[in-house]
Amino acid sequence: MPDKPIFEKKNVLVTGGAGFIGSFLCERLLKDNRVICVDNFSTSLQSNIDHLLQNSDFEFIRTDINEPIDLEKYPELERFKLKFQGIQEIYNLACPTSAKRFEEFRQQTTLVNSVGMRNVLDLAVKYGARFFQASTSVIYGPRPEDGHLFKEEEFGAVDHLTPRSCYDEGKRWAETMTITYSQMHGLDVRIGRIFRTYGPRMALFDGQMMPDFITNALEGKDLVVYGDENFRTSLVYVTDVVDAIVKLMHTAKDIGPVNIGSDYDIKLVDVAKRIIALTNSSSKIVHEAELMFMTQLGLPDLTKAKEDLGWLPLIPLEQGLSRSIEFTIAQKGLTSSAFGR
């Protein structure tokens, strides 16, 4: 298959494309490419891509990457001329991400990070496509006691026998598969280790906290922090993450894994307070036990992203929260007058 498009635009595949980050990535890629979005809606939403469905350069295929993928069997993809042009880029973001329903998806998560990886990597080999793997900060293990920033060359320490190891160790294994396919098949690969991300289109009432903070603040309900008042994290806005992914994919050669996130540490209690202030809410903050999927994580060293990609997160927290609040209000059909503004 050609490594350059026969036609004017590249054919690009995004797995997990109806997810939170995936839908923003599809939107960005449509500026210059023809995009095939694959998802099974396990923890994503069709509403995330509804606005893209009328675009003639976009097509959605509902399927599970844990099953063998034959894109050429879909008549709706005939206009992409896959047999002649193939696929030039594959972005793999497929993996269940649910804090409150984590237990429900443990087996599927294990398969996505192994069987699903094989299926998508085999597709990349078939078409000679450049491959991006969406990895995660959890591969480094828990937040270090000395508070140092994680560099990409750090091995990390993950207990591979815990209930959440299907995700943590699974993502480490997914990186191993990516590199192995690169070495064995000459596949051109990129790995981005994404740290905690926020913004519009995050699932509501799923324990991710940020969207629930906003929804509950708008409705005057308690904001629930799953952890004590010292629960800390870093937060990077979703469009900044997409910018980094695109920059990484377009580097001239594989530069190894790259951290994508914010190195600014903040207490979730302080985030909740900012949201209460921005929504002029009377809500209170309460604490509950930590969720398995929402644990305190370390922060990234961004030296490599700065020097090799020319990337830094640009959206300040206040601006990102305001955008997220506006989106939530629009989605819920709420009016500002309902909240005493």
- The set of catalytic residues is 167
CA dihedral 127, 131, 134, 136 (to 10 degrees): 130
Backbone angles phi, psi at 290, to 5 degrees: -60, 145
What gap in Å lies between CA 269 and CA 59, rounded to an integer? 41
Contact 151, 41 (CB under 8 A): no
Residue with tokens 């009328």: 54
Six token digits for residue 50: 């509804």
Tell me how far CA of residue 300 lies from CA of 194, 218, 295, 312, 316, in angstroms.
Answer: 9, 32, 16, 12, 17
Six token digits for residue 264: 């600014």
Half-sphere exposure of 64 (CA within 13 A, CB side): 11
Contact 217, 273 (CB under 8 A): no
35: enclosing H helix or E strand: strand 33-39
Tell me whether residue 334 is exposed, middle or buried, using C-beta atoms within 10 angstroms of its C-beta: 0 to 12, 13 to 18, 19 or more.
middle
Collapse the DSSP code of 72 into the 3-class scheme (helix H, G, I; strand E, B; otherwise coil) and give the result: helix
- Output the DSSP codes for 177-206: HHHHHHHHH---EEEEEE--EE-TTPPTTS
Question: What angle, 0 to 180 degrees and rounded to 10, lies between the N-to-C axes of helices 268-278 and 210-219?
Answer: 40
Closest CA to 67 of 40, 102, 37: 40
Q: Where are the alpha helices (DSSP H) in the chain?
A: 20-29, 82-85, 106-111, 117-127, 165-185, 210-219, 238-249, 268-278, 303-304, 317-332
